[in-house]
Amino acid sequence: MNRIESTNDFVIRFANVNGSGSASANNLFAKAIFRLGIPVSPKNIFPSNIQGLATWYEVRVNDYGYLGRRGGVDFVVAVNNKTLWQDYDGLLPGGYFLYDSTKPLPDSFNRKDVITIGIPLTELCNKEFENPRLRQLLTNIIYVGALSSLFEMEFSILQESIEKQFKAKPKLAEPNIKALQLGFNYAEEHYKDVCGIRVRPSTKAHGQIMMDGNSATALGALYGGATVVGWYPITPSTSVIESFSKFATKYRKDVDGKIKAAIIQAEDELAAIGIVIGASWNGARAFTATSGPGLSLMNEFLGLAYFAEIPVVLVDVQRSGPSTGMPTRTQQSDMLSAAYASHGDTKNVLLIPCNPQECFQMTADAFDLADRLQTPIIVMSDLDLGMNDNMCPPLRWDDSREYDRGKVLTADQLEKLADKWGRYLDVDGDGICYRTYPGTHPTEGAYFTRGTSHDEYSAYTENSIVYEKNMHRLLLKWKTASKLLPGPRERNRDPDSKVGAIFYGTSSHSAYEALADLNKSGLPINSLRIRAFPFQADVEDFIDRHNLIFVIEQNRDGQMRTLLINELGTCTEKLVPIGNIDGMPITARYIKQEIKKVFQSRGILKTQAVKGGKK
């Protein structure tokens, strides 16, 4: 039988029971790979919050630096009896199946193309440890020790990681190291040279960090100057606020030790964004975080902020499933609802990060953009990016940077105005008006905030002509916004190719890998990663230069494709949707498979793909 053989290039999946303490053991394995200098991408591909349900933790290891899911599993650590067959059946031919052999496998587990590795995890643990609660946790550490033998990893890396974790309580490190050694010794004795997968030290991950997107987002808000947070708990955005609170407690204190931030849990999502709008109108930098269901509830207030032109920063950690019923999984499912949130002719600025570094940078930038444009700025993260550790370049900050508060009139400027000040009067021709902070001047600069029914001086009106003029000005501001946002990232594999691909956010990692593989097989496809909405001229230019474009995203209805058609008037036949909707991070293999299907269905040959497709 041919076994999978590779060095620093494999996918391993841990199949556990939620609440069994497996997270720390699986994380120990992934971090050890990273400490060896090897690029790694760990993902909770079904992070259930319900005790006793199945949960899977997938680790992608590869020296090429690909960070998306590849597709297919080479090695399974199966310690959940309820999913044993599913895990066994899903292995690639030549793969490895490690299970707890304290109980024998059923006779039906008889694949001839799979290498079975039985380690009596429970039996080993029960013999060595008396504490029942400790046994459950240490059983997981035993299989990590076995992996270090099977993959010929440096055992010291794992031991040092445990010692560092329990530095303050070294007595707790002792049983963990013992369990690690138990697994290592058993695999050394019974399965020496059985596995063809190897882990060797590398330098490909040097200079990188591991961080989850929600923590990076929280740091971005802290560095961006946020002092007020209104929030309501909803998975998977809650940890954005929890991380911000932790960072503010540590880094945002005055000389008396008091935290210089107001973090207010509201009674619901609508109240949460109401807090943010009120604080922002008063001159504070404020934000909130939510997920799909919460975004829907916030729409009414988002419309108020849009038409009254109040700076607001909102972080949307996208997810699948409604607030009840379906499990919480990852998707890029809020693009349309966020872009056009609220009723009426509204358009919201979206920033779309693809890694923690961009989560940090874009969130910090969102506060400058909100102040500059006087409008809601929505940072579009997702569950995969927000809650999983991601490898990325270190976070950077320019200490000389000053906040851009936009067009804010001081008391002195108000007194020197030759003409009457109008809150919604555009004097510069960019669609953005001058505003004031409450209390800036005892008599000048005061105004009453309302929605669309105001004239240029903030007075109430129902005049249709005034309303129409104001709406056109908001559209002008929208065009100004496109010039201030981070531009798309383009990769041209062949300047003559007339086939392109557009993607964004966490779909980007697997898309880049899929396109690189297709290029090796003679199908050069140029790519564009969108990082913001409204779209810049570069997006329209890329579409114009290609005859066939795949739009890769993780939702059912092709929401980014719809935005491109709606905003740029692109021909629908030109944009081919490739959508993944199973709630799991999209894989490179799925993208390649779908692109090849399109070529086959249209009868397009490789040479025709470069020249523009079959006529």
Phi, psi of 79 (to 5 degrees): -125, 25
**Residue 443 scores a pLDDT above 80:** yes
C-alpha distance from residue 205 to each of 69, 147, 209 (Å): 17, 21, 8
Instruction: Report all structural domains of the chain as residue ranges with CATH numbers, in order of start.
Output: 5-198 (3.40.920.10), 211-392 (3.40.50.970), 407-486 (no CATH), 489-611 (3.40.50.920)
Provide Rg for the chain, Cα atoms. Answer: 27
Q: How confident is the model at residue 447 (pLDDT cuts 50, 70, 90)?
A: confident
CA quadruple 379, 384, 386, 392: dihedral sign: negative
The pLDDT-based confidence of 612 (bands split at 50, 70, 90) is: low
- Helices 537-544, 559-568: inter-axial angle, 10-degree rounding: 100
Which range among 121-125, 526-530, 532-536, 602-606 shows the weakest confidence by mean pLDDT? 602-606
CB count, 10 Å around CB of 409? 20
Q: Which two tokens stand for residue 76?
A: 């399974």
Q: What would the pLDDT profile of 87-103 be if each residue is shown by its tens digit?
A: 999 999 999 999 999 99
What pLDDT does 326 receive?
Answer: 54
C-beta pairs of 419-427 under 8 Å, 24+ apart in sequence: 420/457, 421/445, 422/456, 422/457, 422/458, 423/447, 423/454, 423/456, 423/457, 423/458, 424/309, 424/454, 424/455, 424/456, 424/457, 424/458, 424/470, 424/473, 425/456, 425/457, 426/473, 426/476
CB 613 within 8 A of CB 499: yes
pLDDT band at 448 (very low <50, low <70, confident <90, very high): confident
- CB neighbour list of residue 40: distance below 8 Å, 6 or more residues apart: 30, 33, 34, 59, 60, 61, 205, 210, 391
Closest by CA position to 172, among listed 159, 163, 184, 160: 163
How sure is the predictor about 327, in pLDDT bands with cuts at 50, 70 and 90? low
Question: Residue 615 — very low, low, confident or very high, per pLDDT cuts 50/70/90?
Answer: very low
Partners of 502 in the beta sheet?
A: 528, 551
Average pLDDT, the chain: 93
Which structure tokens are listed for 188?
A: 């050394």
Q: What is the pLDDT of residues 513-547, one digit of tens each?
A: 999 999 999 999 999 999 999 999 999 999 999 99
Q: 587: which DSSP letter?
A: B
Percent of the chain with pLDDT over 90: 83
Q: What confidence score (pLDDT) does residue 166 get?
A: 87
Name the band, by pLDDT with cuts 50, 70 and 90, for residue 322: low
Pairing of strands 91-100, 73-78: parallel
Residue 215 has pLDDT above 50, yes or no: yes
Residue 376 has a CB neighbour count (10 Å cut-off) of 31
pLDDT of 452 reads 83
Q: What is the pLDDT of residue 321?
A: 66
Residues 6+ apart with CB under 8 A from 424: 309, 433, 454, 455, 456, 457, 458, 470, 473
Closest among 233, 487, 481 to 377, alpha carbons compared: 481
- CA nearest 583: which of 314, 242, 325? 325
- Could you tell me the two tokens for 136? 């459950």
Query: How far is C-alpha 28 from the geometric centre of its chain's CA atoms?
Result: 22
pLDDT tens-digit map of 136-183: 889 999 999 999 999 999 999 999 999 998 888 888 899 999 999 999
Q: Judge whether 10 and 91 are in contact, CB under 8 Å.
A: no
From 337-346, 392-401, 447-456, 495-504, the region with the lowest mean pLDDT: 447-456
Q: Give the per-residue pLDDT at 162.
A: 93
Average pLDDT over residues 27-55: 85
Q: Contact 415/441 with Cβ under 8 angstroms?
A: yes
- Report how far residue 409's alpha carbon sits from residue 425's, in angstroms, rounded to the nearest whole number: 13
The phi, psi pair for 16, rounded to 5°, reads: -125, 175
State residue 54's pLDDT score: 79
Confidence of residue 608 (pLDDT cuts 50, 70, 90): low
- The overall longest dimension of the chain from CA atoms, in Å, is 90
pLDDT band at residue 134, thresholds of 50, 70 and 90? Answer: confident
CB–CB of 581/504 below 8 Å?
A: no
Helix H or strand E segment including 586: none
- Give residue for tokens 């105005």: 417
Phi/psi at 336 (5° precision): -70, -45
Quote the pLDDT of residue 324: 47
* CA–CA gap between residue 377 and residue 375 (Å, rounded): 6
- Asked if pLDDT for residue 476 goes beyond 90, the answer is yes
Contact call for residues 145 and 183 (beta carbons, < 8 A): yes
495 cis-preceded (ω within 30 degrees of 0): no
Judge contact between 311 and 225, C-beta under 8 A: no
Sort 416 into a burial class: Cβ within 10 Å, 0-12 / 13-18 / 19+. exposed
pLDDT given for residue 47 in this prediction: 57
**What are 212's two structure tokens?**
């989850």
pLDDT of residue 207 exceeding 60, the answer is: yes
* Residue 185 to residue 179: CA distance in whole angstroms: 10
Question: Contact at 8 Å (CB) between 275 and 264?
Answer: yes
Count CB-CB contacts under 10 A for residue 115. Answer: 19
Q: What is the pLDDT of residue 605?
A: 63
Residue 409: partners with Cβ closer than 8 Å, 6 or more residues away:
417, 421, 434, 435, 436, 440, 445
Q: Which DSSP category does 37 fall into?
A: T
Residue 415 is classified by DSSP as H
Q: What confidence category does residue 135 fall into, taking pLDDT thresholds of 50, 70 and 90?
A: confident
- N- to C-terminal Cα distance for the chain? 47
Identify the pLDDT of residue 117.
98
Sequence-distant (6+) residues with CB within 8 A of 393 are: 207, 208, 209, 357
Beta-bridge mates of residue 15: 56, 78
> Global pTM?
0.95
> Average pLDDT, stretch 384-393?
96
pLDDT at 259: 87
Amino acid at 319: R
Residue 273's DSSP bridge partners are none
Q: Which one, of 173, 172, 143, 140, lies nearest residue 159 by Cα?
A: 173
pLDDT computed for residue 77 by the predictor: 98
Q: pLDDT tens, 186-205?
A: 999 999 999 999 999 999 99
What is the band of 255 on the pLDDT scale with cuts at 50, 70, 90?
confident
pLDDT over 60 (residue 609): no
Q: Is the pLDDT of residue 132 over 90?
A: no
- The tens digit of pLDDT for each residue in 329-338 reads 899 999 999 9
